[in-house]
Amino acid sequence: MTEVIFKTPEGDEKVSLNPGERLLKGAYTLEMDVRYGFGDCGGNCVCCTCHVYVEEGGEGFEAPTAEEEDMLDTAFNLEDNSRLACQLKVSPDAEKIIVRLPES
Ligand code: FES
Protein backbone atom coordinates (compact mmCIF):
# COMPACT_ATOMS: atom_id res chain seq x y z
CA MET A 1 0.00 0.00 0.00
CA THR A 2 1.14 3.52 -0.73
CA GLU A 3 0.22 6.49 1.40
CA VAL A 4 -1.24 9.28 -0.70
CA ILE A 5 -1.61 12.72 0.83
CA PHE A 6 -3.89 15.30 -0.75
CA LYS A 7 -3.18 18.85 0.38
CA THR A 8 -6.59 20.50 0.34
CA PRO A 9 -8.02 23.85 1.45
CA GLU A 10 -9.14 22.05 4.62
CA GLY A 11 -5.72 20.55 5.37
CA ASP A 12 -3.88 17.34 4.56
CA GLU A 13 -6.00 14.27 3.87
CA LYS A 14 -4.55 10.76 3.67
CA VAL A 15 -5.58 7.59 1.95
CA SER A 16 -3.83 4.31 1.12
CA LEU A 17 -3.84 2.90 -2.40
CA ASN A 18 -2.56 -0.31 -3.96
CA PRO A 19 -0.14 -0.35 -6.88
CA GLY A 20 -1.96 0.27 -10.12
CA GLU A 21 -4.80 2.17 -8.50
CA ARG A 22 -5.40 5.71 -9.68
CA LEU A 23 -5.18 8.73 -7.43
CA LEU A 24 -8.73 9.58 -8.45
CA LYS A 25 -9.92 6.53 -6.51
CA GLY A 26 -8.30 7.92 -3.38
CA ALA A 27 -9.98 11.27 -3.92
CA TYR A 28 -13.35 9.57 -4.24
CA THR A 29 -12.66 7.59 -1.06
CA LEU A 30 -12.09 10.92 0.69
CA GLU A 31 -15.33 12.23 -0.88
CA MET A 32 -13.56 15.08 -2.63
CA ASP A 33 -16.04 14.74 -5.45
CA VAL A 34 -18.79 15.77 -3.03
CA ARG A 35 -16.85 18.55 -1.31
CA TYR A 36 -14.85 20.03 -4.19
CA GLY A 37 -16.46 18.73 -7.36
CA PHE A 38 -13.26 16.77 -7.86
CA GLY A 39 -13.20 14.18 -10.65
CA ASP A 40 -16.42 15.28 -12.25
CA CYS A 41 -16.12 13.18 -15.42
CA GLY A 42 -15.40 9.95 -13.59
CA GLY A 43 -11.85 9.64 -14.89
CA ASN A 44 -12.51 9.95 -18.59
CA CYS A 45 -9.99 12.78 -19.04
CA VAL A 46 -12.56 15.29 -20.26
CA CYS A 47 -13.17 17.66 -17.33
CA CYS A 48 -9.89 18.80 -15.70
CA THR A 49 -11.53 18.97 -12.25
CA CYS A 50 -8.97 16.44 -11.00
CA HIS A 51 -6.06 18.81 -11.61
CA VAL A 52 -3.36 18.43 -8.93
CA TYR A 53 0.21 19.54 -8.39
CA VAL A 54 2.52 16.60 -7.73
CA GLU A 55 4.81 17.63 -4.89
CA GLU A 56 6.42 14.33 -3.91
CA GLY A 57 6.63 10.74 -5.06
CA GLY A 58 5.78 11.30 -8.69
CA GLU A 59 8.86 9.54 -10.09
CA GLY A 60 6.94 6.37 -10.85
CA PHE A 61 4.13 8.03 -12.78
CA GLU A 62 3.97 7.45 -16.51
CA ALA A 63 4.48 10.50 -18.68
CA PRO A 64 1.28 12.32 -19.58
CA THR A 65 -0.47 11.19 -22.73
CA ALA A 66 -1.32 13.67 -25.47
CA GLU A 67 -4.92 13.44 -24.28
CA GLU A 68 -3.92 14.45 -20.73
CA GLU A 69 -1.71 17.27 -21.99
CA ASP A 70 -4.53 18.64 -24.12
CA MET A 71 -6.83 18.62 -21.11
CA LEU A 72 -4.21 20.23 -18.87
CA ASP A 73 -3.88 23.05 -21.37
CA THR A 74 -7.37 24.11 -20.27
CA ALA A 75 -6.46 24.14 -16.55
CA PHE A 76 -6.17 27.32 -14.52
CA ASN A 77 -2.80 28.05 -12.95
CA LEU A 78 -0.93 25.36 -14.85
CA GLU A 79 2.49 24.57 -13.39
CA ASP A 80 5.34 22.25 -14.36
CA ASN A 81 4.12 19.63 -11.89
CA SER A 82 0.49 19.79 -12.95
CA ARG A 83 -1.19 16.46 -13.64
CA LEU A 84 -4.64 14.94 -13.76
CA ALA A 85 -5.26 12.62 -10.82
CA CYS A 86 -7.42 10.34 -12.93
CA GLN A 87 -4.42 9.55 -15.12
CA LEU A 88 -1.96 8.83 -12.29
CA LYS A 89 -1.45 5.20 -11.28
CA VAL A 90 0.44 4.30 -8.13
CA SER A 91 3.67 2.55 -9.07
CA PRO A 92 4.70 -0.57 -7.12
CA ASP A 93 7.75 1.10 -5.57
CA ALA A 94 6.08 4.34 -4.49
CA GLU A 95 6.14 4.71 -0.69
CA LYS A 96 4.49 8.08 -0.36
CA ILE A 97 2.86 10.46 -2.80
CA ILE A 98 1.93 14.05 -2.04
CA VAL A 99 -0.30 16.12 -4.31
CA ARG A 100 -1.81 19.56 -3.79
CA LEU A 101 -5.16 20.76 -5.02
CA PRO A 102 -5.27 24.11 -6.85
CA GLU A 103 -6.50 27.08 -4.82
CA SER A 104 -9.73 27.49 -6.73
S1 FES B 1 -11.73 13.14 -13.65
FE2 FES B 1 -12.19 14.34 -15.39
S3 FES B 1 -10.25 14.71 -16.27
FE4 FES B 1 -9.79 13.55 -14.50
DSSP 34-94: HHH-TTTTSSSSSS-TTEEEEEESGGGSPPPPHHHHHHHTTSTT--TTEEEGGG-BPPTT-
Q: Which atom of ligand 1 is nearest to the CA of 51?
A: 4
Test site for ligand 1: of 28, 50, 73, 83, most ligand atoms within 8 A of the Cβ: 50
Test site for ligand 1: of 52, 76, 84, 89, most ligand atoms within 8 A of the Cβ: 84
CATH 3.90.226.10 fits 2-100, yes or no: no
What does the pLDDT profile of the chain (104 residues) look like in tens digits? Answer: 999 999 999 999 999 999 999 999 999 999 999 999 999 999 999 999 999 999 999 999 999 999 999 999 999 999 999 999 999 999 999 999 999 999 86
Position 42 scores a pLDDT of 97
Q: In angstroms, rounded to a whole number, what is the distance separating the alpha carbons of residues 8 and 32? A: 9
Separation of CA 94 and ligand 1 centre (Å): 22
Q: In 3-state terms, what secondary structure has residue 96?
A: strand
Q: What is the pTM of this model?
A: 0.95
Position 103 scores a pLDDT of 85
> What one-letter code names the amino acid at 6?
F
Position 50 scores a pLDDT of 98
